[in-house]
Structure 1
């Protein structure tokens, strides 16, 4: 028995010894490779950021947002940790006069500063990052001091130490660029840059002195005001969408700072867009304009497309290339093969990333605008180089596509949601998981193509009609009916009032009503009716998608409460009837329910469900169309309702929410908002007939 116990103790001791040796060995290996792994990981994260940074502008998928978010946060953290490890390793070796391993590792510190400067395609993950530029400034200054400390403590007058100087210059330039761009795009600084110069107006004291002098001379004086109605309309040079977009981008930038524009800006843009024949042309200008705004708020485009930015980019690239050439020439026998290979990877990686950034720059709208203004042989050379790069890298998807937004809209159907919830009956765990994670995996997207003349044309024509009416509220302006049908005019007037009072209720009521009407007309053979149905369904599901997924983009209310109560009532009815298995059967059931008595008389105000209120709306539209024999007119009216509600929601959404969605694939709502502003349907104009000028008339 004693022998067995002793044998067990000896075995356990040997096991603990092996574990201790193994842990010590792992610790030794990690200490040896720690800096190398962190530095290469930092380089890898820079590659991810520069490749995917611009793609989020036109990819609305959740995977790219999560991937970029992790890479954006990890990139700065990894570089900071690497600098900290380098400074710690230096402390362990400070008694030695010369350590080749540490000297070459200290040479990597400037590369980490370059990484902290970030790529051109993404300086801020969201608008909130721009507001934190003072914190970022302090962090980067501290990291710069740490890098200088590492270099100073490893300085032994070797050639590698001197090579760190140009890389340090490149790192400082990169950090300076990032801080400058973050500061420029912050709300306060951006707003201040949009403010016009102070205008004291006509000299009142001088005018009155002249008035008194003429009066003393015996003249009879009368003062009259003259209205200056001149507007600087410039359409001659705006035939191309790119030129027009850049011109209006510079004019309408104050919208993204919540500032007021002048009446000249309103008349200029409104006259330009009213001359457009198709909605595709108008939306093309809007897309390019929002692309410029995305670049200005979330990338380095505003800086690198200026002369100071171009000079900084040239100096940075020159420093990196000269460092690589010098490192190839010097004697590297004192350094290990592994450290030399890591250094080459960092140098080649920095140069490749700089060249890639230049290629992306050459293929941008900013460069195309610059090229059109030049008349030099260099321009032809740049154009040929750009075409070559596009053909070489475009085929392998290394360059981002020349798209300004996702050209798609989110879709969310209430009835489909209720049918899915029925499948989780009896499983609380599955139902709980579905409800919590639904926002992340349930996102159906429908494309909005340029050739889709139906949707864009419908929105554009209706907004052009609304822009010709003034001196009324935005809701009444959007639903203004110029026809002779008094009943239709009263219908749209009541709808405008209902929308202002309870916008979320109006959305849900008409969403369900559109579904039920679509069910009754899904076999219609008319192509125009099919097109109107498709537009109505697309906008109906899109606004409910915004109500559920992004309620902050819609007017404030209790939309989510109404949605969950309406879903709860629909699910209760569906679960009571086991035979219902699809949306068609559910809609058939709802359409057959007797709604002679108003739901509010039976249910009161406890539940905010609008399920059977929507059924009443659907039946009224169905009966009216059947009595009049005008099915096409019914869908024309329904599509007009949805375009009006989309436009009203766009006008009520704050500018910062529109700007936030630019980095998540873009929103149709944002494009409609900017188009409304160009047509003068917004509160951001200083409505005036002109500048008043007083003149003295003598008699």
Structure 2
């Protein structure tokens, strides 16, 4: 029934949903977001969709949303609205209010509010006419009136948010499609169009959180808030957990990620190895993708990217492609490092393993950079550490230094270095996105949401999965790939 209704939305000939009234498909996409949200809700309930359903959804995303050059903007908008529905479902009453028959109760509530306004206005107008106990009556009437007015203001604000919510837009558009008289009424079309164009607050601010390991490893949290007594009331901050200022999600990052998703030849994702195998010059870096855990891979590549950021900074003479790759690589590197430090439940490894490896890396960094107070001193020490793994040891700090030196010294072209790093981080953020821990993604919506949650929702519909680490190792043994 619902599939038929949404087909009618897409085939509707009314002016509101035509190319003239809705040139960018904003109104239709609200209904598409609602349909995709229902698929996410089924997954949360433990239901699985057949592969054929995933294939159809992927065809819709690949050949529909991402078909145009700037299709990533539309795909991102659809997923953002979808997560808005998911947030409302878990943390508001919209899903109950908009059930069939419930709107009549809301209308009755509005009538009571109207009566309350009329009653309050009458009291405020006539309370001076009371001659008995004038002072006491005046105080009582004013206090009562203020309480009723406060209640009325809250109720009117709730009605405003309900009336302009995404749920109301879906219902209005569906009613418009079903009723021919609405399609022939210009004023109804204008009212629905005005409501659909209003954008209320979203659960995500389109910010990309950032964390720099080499800048924050020495951070010590305040003992006044971080102790056993306060642990009962607030989450404790660990050593090295100092978040950098978040940045506005760059358009270049969205474009690069969605382009990689569109051009992906398989429904199985790898942890950056596919992007490295493309170029013969970067195959020597594959060892850094084959560490024991994905947390180690992220930390090592993040340290190497920070090393290259200091050694190969942007210059005025750099090409636009180099600038774009630099922005994509550094932004995603610091974002994945942020997930390791602050949101380990969103990563492939178990959260306890990720937290343990992060704490170990902090200890190793403090030991390795004891006398390095400035960033350039740490980079200088890493630059000197340019020998093989047997001399370097097996700490992630030394592995990151080794990888950074390989990139800076063995790859001669600066543009190629940043292209390798950008492609790696784009593939890595797609690799970590698929997750069975839907609860963790839902909980992060209350904290403003995450970029990786948007990718998780998109990949969930496409049925794209990551290649398990043990499967990658088995394939390397059987295929005899080059080891470094």
State the TM bucket, normalised to the shorter chain: 0.7 to 0.9
- Say if 2:108 is the partner of 1:283: no
Instruction: Tell me the residue number matched to 1:458.
Output: 256
2:369 maps to what in 1?
574
Verify the 8 A CA contact 2:305 2:329 in the aligned structure 1.
yes
| Distance apart, 1:440 and its partner CA | 12
Distance 1:289-1:441 versus aligned 2 partners, 3 A rule? same
Shift of 1:417: 0.8
Displacement of 1:537:
1.4
CA shift in 2, pair 1:418/1:442, >3 Å: closer
| Matching of residue 418 in structure 1 with residue 206 in structure 2 | no
The answer as to whether partners of 2:205 and 2:448 remain within 8 angstroms in 1 is: yes
TM-score normalised over the length of structure 2? 0.74
1:441/1:487 Cα in 2 relative to 1: closer, same or farther (>3 Å)?
closer
Residue 522 (structure 1) aligns with: 313
- Deviation at residue 587 of structure 1 after TM alignment: 1.3
Once the two structures are overlaid, the 10-residue window that deviates more, 238-247 or 561-570, is 238-247
Q: Which has the larger radius of gyration?
A: 1
Residues 148-184 of structure 1, C-alpha deviations (whole Å, 9 max, x = no match) = xxxxxxxxxxxxxxxxxxxxxxxxxxxxxxxxxxxxx
User: Which SS does the other structure have where 1:558 is aligned?
Assistant: helix
| Partner residue in 2 for 1:563 | 358
The answer to whether the aligner puts 1:363 opposite 2:160 as a matched pair is: no
Tell me the secondary structure at the aligned position of residue 522 of structure 1.
coil
Take 1:599 and 1:482, find their aligned partners in 2: how far apart are those partners? 25
Cα separation, 1, equivalents of 2:261 and 2:144? 59
Q: How far apart in 1 are the matches of 2:116 and 2:225?
A: 59
- CA displacement at 1:502 relative to structure 2: 0.5
Measured after TM superposition, the shift of residue 411 of structure 1 is 1.1
| 1:651 alignment partner, SS class | coil
**Separation in structure 2 between the aligned mates of residue 341 and residue 442 of structure 1, nearest angstrom:** 50
Pairing partner for 1:619 from 393, 400, 405:
405
Runs (5+) with no aligned partner, structure 2: 1-6, 18-24, 177-181, 228-234, 467-484
**Kept after mapping to 2: 8 A contact 1:625/1:631:** yes
By how many angstroms is 1:259 displaced? 2.3
| Shift in alpha-carbon separation, 1:532–1:267, aligned structure 2, 3 A | same
Query: What displacement does 1:448 show?
Result: 3.7
Deviation at 1:460, TM superposition (A): 0.9
- What CA RMSD, in Å, does the superposition of the two structures yield over aligned residues? 3.7
Aligned equivalents of 1:234, 1:613: Cα separation in 2: 55
Pairing 1:262–2:30 present: no
- 1: CA distance, partners of 2:261 / 2:196: 39
Cα drift, residue 665 of structure 1: 0.7
Q: Distance in 2 between matches of 1:482 and 1:595?
A: 22
Kindly provide the CA deviation profile for residues 76-117 of structure 1, in whole angstroms up to 9, marking residues without a partner as x.
Answer: xxxxxxxxxxxxxxxxxxxxxxxxxxxxxxxxxxxxxxxxxx
User: In the TM superposition, what are the counterparts of 1:250-399 in structure 2 within 5 Å?
Assistant: 250-275=38-63, 276=66, 277=68, 278-323=71-116, 325-326=118-119, 328=122, 336-373=137-174, 374=176, 375=182, 376=185, 379=188, 382=191
Deviation readout 1:262-282 (Å, 9 max, x if unpaired): 234212221121121332221
Q: Which runs of 5+ in 1 are unaligned?
A: 1-231, 391-399, 604-608, 684-699
Cα offset, 1:585, TM superposition: 2.7
- Shift in alpha-carbon separation, 1:290–1:631, aligned structure 2, 3 A: same
Query: What whole-Å deviation, never above 9, does each CA across 1:212-270 have from its counterpart, x for those lacking one?
Result: xxxxxxxxxxxxxxxxxxxx999767944323222322334323334211234212221
Question: Residues 36-79 of structure 1: CA distance to partner in whole angstroms, max 9, x if unpaired?
Answer: xxxxxxxxxxxxxxxxxxxxxxxxxxxxxxxxxxxxxxxxxxxx
Deviations 1:315-362 (A, max 9, x none): 123224335545646998687433332221222122222221222223
The one-character-per-residue Cα deviations of 1:415-455 (angstroms, maximum 9, x if unpaired) are: 1113555xx9xxx969978x955699943343344xx3310
**Cα contact 1:510–1:617 (8 A) shared by 2:** yes
1:596: Cα distance to partner? 3.4
Change (3 A) 1:670 1:365: same
State the Cα deviation string for residues 110-167 of structure 1 (Å, max 9, x = none): xxxxxxxxxxxxxxxxxxxxxxxxxxxxxxxxxxxxxxxxxxxxxxxxxxxxxxxxxx
CA 1:263–1:647 in 2, change beyond 3 Å: closer, same or farther? Answer: same
Distance apart, 1:382 and its partner CA: 4.2
8 Å Cα contact 2:281-2:411 kept in structure 1: no
1:83-98 matches, cutoff 5 A: none
- 8 Å Cα contact 1:599-1:613 kept in structure 2: no
Q: What does 1:606-645 correspond to in 2, within 5 Å?
A: 609-626=395-412, 630-645=413-428
Report the Cα distance in structure 1 between the residues aligned to 2:275 and 2:9, rounded to whole angstroms.
32
Whole-angstrom distance in 1 between the partners of 2:226 and 2:383: 30
Report SS of the residue matched to 1:598: helix
Q: Partners of 1:358 and 1:317 in 2: how far apart?
A: 8
How far off is 1:543 after superposition? 1.5
Match of 1:678 among 444, 455, 461: 461
Question: What is the match of residue 550 of structure 1?
Answer: 343
CA distance in 2, matches of 1:547, 1:383: 44
**Whole-Å separation in 1 of the counterparts to 2:320 and 2:218:** 30
Per the alignment, residue 470 of structure 2 pairs with none
CA distance in 1, matches of 2:38, 2:311: 49
- CA distance 1:439–1:293, shift in 2 (3 Å): farther
Tell me how many residue pairs correspond in the alignment. Answer: 415
Cα separation, partners in 2 of 1:235 and 1:521, compared to 1, 3 Å? farther
Please state how far the C-alpha of 1:653 moved relative to its aligned partner. Answer: 5.4
Contact 1:419 1:581 in 2 (8 A): no
TM-score, normalized by length of structure 1?
0.53
Structure-2 residue corresponding to 1:584: 376
Question: Equivalent residues in 2 for 1:241-252 (5 A)?
Answer: 241-252=29-40
